[in-house]
Amino acid sequence: MMTKTTTSIIAESRRLIVKIGSSLLVDEATGQIRRAWMDSLCDDVARLRARGQDVILVSSGAVAVGRKHLGLVPPLRLEEKQAAAATGQIRLAHAYQEALARHGITVAQVLLTLADSEDRRRFLNARNTLDTLLRLGAVPVINENDTVATTEIRFGDNDRLAARVAQMSGADSLVLFSDIDGLYTADPRKNPDARFLAQVTEITPEIEAMAGDPGSSVGTGGMVTKLTAAKICLSAGCRMAICKGEPLHPLTALENGARVTWFLPSATPKTARKQWIAGSMSPLGSLHLDDGAVRALSSGKSLLPAGVRAVDGEFDRGDCVLVRDAQGRVVARGLSAYSSDDARLIMGRKSADIEGVLGFRGRDEIIHRDDLVMEG
């Protein structure tokens, strides 16, 4: 891929996810965080933030840092990994805080498990938290919640977690910084005839067959998890890069033409999300609107409680519902920000009344326009 294309992809990304592997962040011999490398990464993050881009960091390294601090010797049992994560996460978060504080940037630690990205309600809560943090100017630093994870921690699957974060946050691009500079037709460390692939637009069985074994004793993710992450990104309309993260200022190096494999989707995040709402979710209820609300939706507006005249069915927050006009015709479908019980209480009311009626301040919209797909 040409340098100009890589440069424009990064520069044009409204929201960028950066995943950092353990082997880049932690010195294997000492168990210490590579502060010079972290500082250079955070310099890059500050530069992107200064030009108006949202950045989310998905960082491995807690187990690797905590392991050395507690004197644990691999291979670790699950409970030992969790103990290492508990002490290592504090050190990791503090290091990020110090590195970004030099630029006057606030850090927010967010611990997630893969289950948080797969349960609908927890997915929505995490998405709203990330959106709020970014709106307030913070840089979220996400790690797997290894102290409570069970199966996931055994696979070190932060690649897939990063892709889920990209999906839930509507990111344009995900960069996986690794100890390899991209995808090859075979493991280049073992096969001198391995051919480098600059662009991938579809994860075919042939592409999957190219995945090799994990190459580092510090990290536990290999090309298999990276291709799984790429599948998630492509379906979410998010571009994904695999590139070498070892140089200082790795994002700058990427923009300046470092070798990289780009996985390029056919849709944008917003388009992919709306396709998913339109075709992959079964509606669990209906909202009946007045004519003014239907006109507002047709002009690209969100659905406010004031325009809802009746609520049918039983559904929870985040479930898919049909949107009907006064004659009962389906005009749209979308994800409700309220349960059916709460929707019945606030229908016909102004958004300013929601807190007084429900006892908590929810979203102003029953369905946000980004979660709404018009029929026809």
Shortest CA distance to 225 belongs to which of 264, 273, 178?
A: 178
- pLDDT, one tens digit for every residue, the chain (376 residues): 344 578 899 999 999 999 998 889 999 888 899 999 999 999 999 999 999 999 999 999 998 999 988 999 888 888 898 899 899 999 999 999 999 999 999 999 999 877 777 777 788 889 989 999 999 999 999 988 766 655 544 444 789 889 999 998 999 999 999 888 999 998 888 888 999 999 999 999 999 888 855 444 344 347 888 999 999 999 899 999 999 999 999 999 999 999 999 999 988 888 888 887 887 668 999 999 999 999 999 999 999 999 999 999 999 998 999 999 999 999 999 999 999 999 999 999 999 999 999 999 899 999 999 899 998 6
Residue 366: exposure state from Cβ atoms within 10 A (0-12, 13-18, ≥19): buried
Shortest CA distance to 222 belongs to which of 262, 176, 261, 253?
A: 176
* Residue 154: strand, helix, or coil: helix
CA distance 278 to 173: 23
Shortest CA distance to 17 belongs to which of 48, 43, 39?
A: 48
Shortest CA distance to 368 belongs to which of 349, 345, 351?
A: 351
The CA-to-CA distance between both ends of the chain, in Å, stands at: 38
CA distance 319 to 365: 15
Residue 278: its pLDDT value, please? Answer: 80
Angle between helices 62-70 and 78-101 (to 10 degrees): 110
Please write down the long-range contacts of 250-253, taking CB distance under 8 Å and 24 or more positions apart: 250/40, 250/41, 250/44, 250/177, 251/10, 251/18, 251/41, 251/44, 251/45, 251/47, 251/48, 251/175, 252/44, 252/47
Q: Please provide residue 162's backbone torsions phi and psi, each rounded to the nearest 5 degrees.
A: -60, -40
Q: Are strands 320-324 and 285-289 parallel, antiparallel or unpaired?
A: parallel
Buried-exposed string 168-198: b where 16+ CB fall within 10 A, e elsewhere: bbbbbbbbbbbebbbbbeebbeeeeebeebe
Alpha carbon 298 to its chain's center = 30
Residue 4 makes CB contacts below 8 A (sequence gap 6+) with none
DSSP assigned state of 329: -
CA distance 296 to 93: 44
CA distance 187 to 195: 9
Sheet holding 15-20, edge to edge: 107-112, 139-144, 54-59, 15-20, 173-178, 239-244, 260-263, 199-200
**Contact yes or no for 211/227 (Cβ under 8 A):** yes
Q: Please provide residue 141's backbone torsions phi and psi, each rounded to the nearest 5 degrees.
A: -115, 115
Structure-block tokens of residue 43: 């310099």
* Residue 246: strand, helix, or coil: coil
CA distance 265 to 268: 7
pTM: 0.83
Residue 209 makes CB contacts below 8 A (sequence gap 6+) with none
Structure-block tokens of residue 117: 């990205």
Residue 71 makes CB contacts below 8 A (sequence gap 6+) with none
